[in-house]
Structure 1
């Protein structure tokens, strides 16, 4: 987060953002009741793919767009 941001949607906001930290928790649910039967590392088995998405998302506090941090960084590096 040491790079300047610019919203790729409204293209004017360079100062107001919400940083969203994503924490994925693997769970195993009962198919009929929806009750969680296992959580955390217990739920990972051979058929449970671990989360590989971004750990940080950014929301523009002007227009509300939520995107990966890299999109805001790319637009922030562009000349004004």
Structure 2
């Protein structure tokens, strides 16, 4: 584990929420927005890209900023205690 520092409020180093990202691939009706089908990774059509974002994001428990973990890690690295 490495220390975090919020790049927005610049003071919080201890209170954070880790938000686990769960992706669901869906096919929508273009007119109504209704979900027509849900697909597993192995069932995606060739033109449907699989989710490639981070496994989780981090939220500052003081100011509420939500960013990727690397943002909080890099800010702490550039501003050591």
The answer to whether TM tops 0.5 is yes
For 1:10, the equivalent position in structure 2 comes to 9
Aligned counterparts of 1:56 and 1:66: Cα–Cα separation in 2: 10
Query: Which residue matches 1:79?
Result: 80
> Which sections of structure 2, spanning at least 5 residues, go unmatched?
none
Runs of 4+ in 1 over 4 A off after TM superposition: none
TM-score, length-scaled by structure 2? 0.87
TM-score by length of 1: 0.88
Structure 1 residue 6, shift from structure 2 partner: 0.6
Q: Does 2:77 match 1:48?
A: no
Alpha-carbon distance in 1 for matches of 2:76, 2:20 = 20
